Amino acid sequence: MTTITARRFLQVAALSAAGLLLAACGKKEAPPAPAPVASAAAPAPTKVYNVGTDAAYAPFESQNEKGEIVGFDIDVVKAAAAKAGLEVKFVNTPWEGIFNALGQGDRDMIVSAVTITDERKQTMDFSTPYFDAVQLIAVKENSKISKFDDLKKLKVGVQTGTTGDEAVSKLLGKTNTNIKRFESTPLALKELESGGVDAVVADNGVVIHYVANNPTSKFKTVSDKEFVPEQYGLAVKKGNTELLGKLNKGLADIKADGTYDKIFAQYFGAPPAKAAAAPASTASK
Ligand code: ARG
């Protein structure tokens, strides 16, 4: 068959017109981009979810020597995301701007040892809880501080905007200048070491980890029943029910098949039930 269809004619006409145009433009014109090759093997582009985390909160999230973001939270999200078929990428994000980044869509979710609170629930949605925590006081080994109330007249370091900040603000008064607020918890603990503050209040897991790994700081921990139990959740933008559903399914799956327990044991050495029952007392001196 040599019949030229109308469509083919138009294609040829268009091509020669383009050729003429190119010729008219001279040699400076860049060569035409290669035509996209349709391939059945090309994978559909998958969305990569940006996960914001303040990676100065070992053992939950920190940066290793290679600059990689690692920790309990990271492993939990990686495992849950894998079950849910989600591709995730962790982005180090300062705590102070972390919820704004979520609200503005710069991050799809936050994993950062974030305590689920009623106040936060107004502006973001949380997954089912994945970890139990409570505030714990760090003091110098020779300190006489034995309970939370002892901090009333003292200088106390906290990470700005954390539940530790909230607890101390309640005890001392929000505008009390004895509250020293830091952008990270390790900075607050450094200040305790240099004597700038008398105590630091932060999540038990982080305080215990720091005290154990920095013996030269000569810290001890003080627990107090005054502190209300807390639970960590993954945060998504308010109304992002689709992502939340997938994350909850992923979390349920890793809890059901033992993956969660394995990760937990790797970081905390004991099964969740036991460790949650007495996290502070085991490390207190
Ligand atoms: N659990 C505390 C809170 O939600 C502290 C979390 C701080 N996390 C961090 N990666 N710095 O307020």
CA-nearest of 212, 247, 217 to 233 is 247
Instruction: Tell how far the Cα of 32 is from the centroid of ligand 1, in angstroms.
Output: 53
**Cα four-point dihedral sign 260, 262, 266, 271:** positive
Average pLDDT, the chain: 88
- Confirm or reject: Cβ of 112 under 6 Å from ligand 1: yes
Q: Which atom of ligand 1 is nearest to the CA of 163?
A: 12
Q: Give me the sheet containing 135-140, strands edge to edge.
A: 179-182, 156-159, 199-203, 135-140, 219-222
Q: Is the pLDDT of residue 262 over 80?
A: yes
Q: What is the structure's pLDDT at 194?
A: 97
Q: Is the pLDDT of residue 132 over 70?
A: yes
Q: Which atom of ligand 1 is nearest to the CA of 115?
A: 4
Task: Give the integer Cα–Cα distance in Å for 249 and 176.
Answer: 43
Q: What is the structure's pLDDT at 30?
A: 55
Q: What is the structure's pLDDT at 145?
A: 98
Give the global pTM. Answer: 0.82
Tokens representing residue 135 in the block? 């505030």
Q: Express each pLDDT in 13-63 by its tens digit.
A: 444 444 444 444 444 455 566 655 555 666 677 899 999 999 999 999 999
Q: Express each pLDDT in 214-237 by its tens digit.
A: 999 999 999 999 999 999 999 999
Instruction: Tell how far the Cα of 187 is from the centroid of ligand 1, in angstroms.
Output: 14
Q: What is the structure's pLDDT at 270?
A: 73
Instruction: Tell how far the Cα of 41 is from the centroid of ligand 1, in angstroms.
Output: 43
Instruction: Tell how far the Cα of 243 is from the centroid of ligand 1, in angstroms.
Output: 22
Selected residue with higher pLDDT from 277 and 210: 210
Task: Give the integer Cα–Cα distance in Å for 218 and 139.
Answer: 9
Q: Is the pLDDT of residue 168 over 60?
A: yes
Q: What is the structure's pLDDT at 140?
A: 98
Half-sphere exposure of 148 (CA within 13 A, CB side): 18
What is the rounded average pLDDT of the residues 109-123? Answer: 98
**Looking at 128-142, 220-234, 268-282, which range is the least confident one?**
268-282
Selected residue with higher pLDDT from 263 and 284: 263
Q: What is the structure's pLDDT at 46?
A: 83
DSSP lists the bridge partners of residue 199 as 156
Q: Is the pLDDT of residue 10 over 90?
A: no
What are the C-alpha distances in Å from 244 to residues 130, 232, 237? 13, 15, 9
Tokens representing residue 4 in the block? 């030229």
Q: Express each pLDDT in 180-206 by its tens digit.
A: 999 999 999 999 999 999 999 999 999
CA-nearest of 134, 181, 125, 179 to 156 is 179
Q: What is the structure's pLDDT at 166?
A: 98
Q: What is the structure's pLDDT at 109?
A: 98
- Confirm or reject: Cβ of 54 under 6 Å from ligand 1: yes
Instruction: Tell how far the Cα of 4 is from the centroid of ligand 1, in angstroms.
Output: 70
